[in-house]
Amino acid sequence: MTDPARSIRIGTMISASGGEAADRIAEIADLGFESFEPFFWQTTNGQDLAELGKRCREAIGDRDITISTLGMFGNPLEDQPLDRDTLQGWKDCIDNAHHFGATCVAGFTGRVRGKPLTDSLPRYREVWSELAKRAADRGVRIAFENCAMEGNWQTGDWNIAHNPDAWELIFNETPDENIGLEWEPCHQLVYLIDPLPQIRKWAPKIFHVHGKDATVRWEVIREHGIFGKEPFVWMRTPGFGDSNWTDIISELRLAGYEGAIDIEGWHDPVYRDALEMTGQIHALEHLKRCRGGSFVDIAAQYGGGDPSLA
C-alpha cells in the first residue's frame, strides 16, 4: 500500500560534475533517502547525460527512490567560458532529464555581473524565454533557487531570483507556466523574511524544495547589526536551525505541493567535513518526523514495531 505521506519525499543532493553521481548514489542508497537531486556546478564536463542518467537509475535499482530534479548551477547570462558551459549544461539537462526520470531542472537565473538587478532583465528574458520553450516541449519544468550568492539588489554575480520583489519581475518577463522556484527557508531567513507567509503566496510557483535552514543570531544583530564583523546568520542543516519544518511541510501540503525536499548540505558550521553525513542523516530523520509517515515506515526506520498495528 502506498504511503500518502510520501507524496513529499525526503532526499539529498548528489554532486555530479566530476562523474561520481552514480557511485555516490550506490554508496548511500540504503541510508533511508527517498529521492536524489544530481547537480552540476557550472559545467557538466562533457559527460554523456543519457548514459549518466542510466547509471544513476541502475544504482537506485528496485529501491523506492526517485530523481525528480536535476541541478545546473552557474551564470548562463554572461559570456565567459564557464558561463557558456553553464548555458549548454542547461540545454543538456533539459534534453536529458527523462533519462534520470526527472521532470524538473533547477539552478540560478544568472546575472549581468556587477550591475543592478533590473539591468539583467533583458538578457534574462532573451535566454529564459528560449529555454522555457525548450523545456515545455519536453515536459520539463524550470525552477530557480532563491539564493543570493552574496549578491543584492544593487550588485551580484550569479542570480537575480533571490528576492520576492525580483520574482514579480522575472515572472512578468517570462510568464511561462513551466518556470518557477526551487525554494528553501534558509535564504529567506538570511533576508530576515518569514518563510511561512511566502509559501502561502508563492506555492503555485514552488516546483522543488531544498532542505536547508538557518539560525538567525539575534544577539549579534542587537549588538553589532547585520553589517558588522560578526556573522548575524548561520546556514544550517535541517534540524539544527530556526525553521519549524512541521509547519513548512503542512503549508506545502495545504497548497497541494507534491515532490521532494532534497537536503542541501555542506553549509552547516558544525556538521560539515567529517560530520557532514552525521548532519545529513539527522536532517533526514528530522524531516521525516516533521512530514509524518506510516507506522511501518517509522518502525522500519527505528528497527522495531508490530506492522499489524499500522
Beta bridge partners of residue 10, listed in sequence order = 261
- Rounded CA-CA distance 173/121 in Å is 7
- Whether 297 has a pLDDT exceeding 70, the answer reads no
44-95: per-residue pLDDT in tens?
999 999 999 999 999 999 999 999 999 999 999 999 999 999 999 999 999 9
For residue 183, what pLDDT is reported? Answer: 97
pLDDT in tens, 102-119: 999 999 999 999 999 999
C-beta of residue 288 within 8 angstroms of C-beta of residue 296: no
Q: In this model, does residue 308 exceed pLDDT 80?
A: no
Contact 86, 109 (CB under 8 A): no
Rounded-to-integer distance, Cα 144 and Cα 131, Å: 13
How many of the other CB atoms lie within 10 Å of CB of 27?
12
Q: At what angle do helices 195-202 and 164-173 cross, to 10 degrees?
A: 20
Output the pLDDT for position 113.
98
What's residue 264's pLDDT?
97
Report whether pLDDT(141) > 80.
yes
pLDDT tops 70 at residue 21: yes
Instruction: Specify the pLDDT at position 301.
Output: 52
Per-residue pLDDT band for 153 (boundaries 50, 70, 90) equals very high
Cell of residue 189, nine digits? 531567513
C-alpha distances (whole Å) from 51 to each of 57, 84, 136, 305, 308 are 10, 22, 23, 41, 43
Mean pLDDT of 169-197: 96
Contact predicate 93/40, CB 8 Å: yes
Give the per-residue pLDDT at 3: 84
Please report the pLDDT score of residue 304 as a whole number.
46
CA distance linking residue 178 with residue 283, whole number of Å: 29
Average pLDDT estimate for 21-25: 98
Contact 108, 72 (CB under 8 A): no
- Compute the distance between CA of residue 288 and CA of residue 281 in angstroms, rounded to an integer: 11
> Residue written as cell 532583465?
121
SS3 157: coil
Percent pLDDT > 90 in the chain is 93
Residue 39 has pLDDT above 80, yes or no: yes
State the pLDDT at residue 303.
52
**In the structure, what pLDDT confidence band is assigned to residue 293 with cuts at 50, 70 and 90?**
confident
Predicted confidence (pLDDT) at residue 300 exceeds the cutoff of 70: no
Distance CA 107, CA 70 (A): 9
pLDDT-derived band at 305 (thresholds 50, 70, 90) equals very low
CATH code of the domain made up of 4-291 = 3.20.20.150
3-state helix, strand, coil in the chain (%, to 5): 45, 20, 35
Q: Are 36 and 25 in contact (CB under 8 A)?
A: yes
